[in-house]
Structure 1
């Protein structure tokens, strides 16, 4: 069984100073509102409702941490999956959007325990202006990025291959970048994604 399947809710935080000490590896998930972030976390952890998605874009305003138990010390986490608030929500006030953007940017730039970033992009839309802005935040950190092209089941194989090429070219400013077509419903790219994340959290396990 994948160690990701043992993930459990740990804490929600509205601000960075409410997060636990940066002591174990963290892998964060970030993407536009309604890109399929919650679905991806749920299928990767083999749980139906570990991560919640709101029907109202931008409603989820908290940073949610899910702990992966340490086999040698089950009461302690060996790492965290971090669900960051979605971005790109038009129905939310401008000042609130900017505040969340600041929290997102600060986490990505400053969080010492951040081991890898999972950036979710709708394969049908490609890289949006907001995705490019996020990439500009990420690139200077040198953190590795796994770009999941969600809803890949909506496109035939040839178009998926072209989408991978296009996104890789668009995000070339990110040094350590891997792009994978992904579908939560059809489990496309699931095994490769899981292996990538586990390697970030515990290289000896994968």
Structure 2
């Protein structure tokens, strides 16, 4: 069983100073509003309702942390965390609110000491949008490892998926050694590769 399947809700925070002290490795999920972050977290954790998506895209303002307990630790400490960051950039949200979210996202990506890896979600049908580029601009200076999940990959045939991966890697080359994975929660495309990468970030020594 994947260690990700042990994930359960740990805490929510509206501001960075409300987060628990940095500790076990964290893997965050970031992307434009309505790109499928909650769905991706749920399928990776093999749970239906671990992460919730708002019915109104862009309304989720909390940082949600999901912990994976260490079953061998009597203190029930955490092996690591999956972190669902607020979706960014939905047009109907007031400018001030968007700026506040930008500060939270940028601050977390740049300054969180326990951040071990970043999962950047991009809709494969849209490619790299201006909002995705803005997220990439926050990520690039951090030097943190990144995996891009190209969501809704089931909408493209195989050959078109490969072309999309090449295009994203080329456009986001400044992030570094970018691992781009076609991903579909419904068709379970890319699930194994994404799981392996996240597990390696959290705890390379753990054997599920």
Deviates most, 74-83 or 20-29: 74-83
Which stretches of structure 1, 4 residues or longer, exceed 6 Å deviation after superposition? none
1:205 Cα deviation (Å)? 2.3
- 1:28 aligned to 2:37? no
Give runs of aligned pairs for residues 23-172 of structure 1, distance below 5 A: 23-73=23-73, 75-172=76-173
1:175 Cα deviation (Å)? 1.1
Name the counterpart of 2:13: 13
Gapped runs of 5+ residues in structure 2? Answer: none
1:176 Cα deviation (Å)? 2.9
> 1:145 touches 1:178 (CA, 8 Å); kept in 2?
yes
Counterparts of 2:177 and 2:69, CA distance in 1: 27
SS of corresponding position for 2:29: strand
Q: Any idea what the Cα deviations from partners look like across 1:96-144, whole Å, max 9, x if unmatched?
A: 1000011000000000000000000000000001111111111111100
Aligned residues between the structures: 206
TM-score normalised to structure 2 length: 0.97
Counterparts of 1:16 and 1:73, CA distance in 2: 28
Q: Any idea what the Cα deviations from partners look like across 1:116-174, whole Å, max 9, x if unmatched?
A: 00000000000001111111111111100000000000000010000000000000001
Deviates most, 74-83 or 41-50: 74-83
> 1:108 touches 1:138 (CA, 8 Å); kept in 2?
yes
Counterparts of 2:176 and 2:206, CA distance in 1: 25
Name the counterpart of 1:197: 198
Counterparts of 2:155 and 2:22, CA distance in 1: 38
Q: Any idea what the Cα deviations from partners look like across 1:37-83, whole Å, max 9, x if unmatched?
A: 11100000000000001121111100000001113216211100000
SS of corresponding position for 2:22: coil
Counterparts of 1:15 and 1:77, CA distance in 2: 22
Counterparts of 1:204 and 1:101, CA distance in 2: 34
Counterparts of 1:159 and 1:88, CA distance in 2: 27
Gapped runs of 5+ residues in structure 1? Answer: none
> 1:30 touches 1:37 (CA, 8 Å); kept in 2?
yes
TM-score normalised to structure 1 length: 0.98
Name the counterpart of 2:181: 180
SS of corresponding position for 2:88: coil
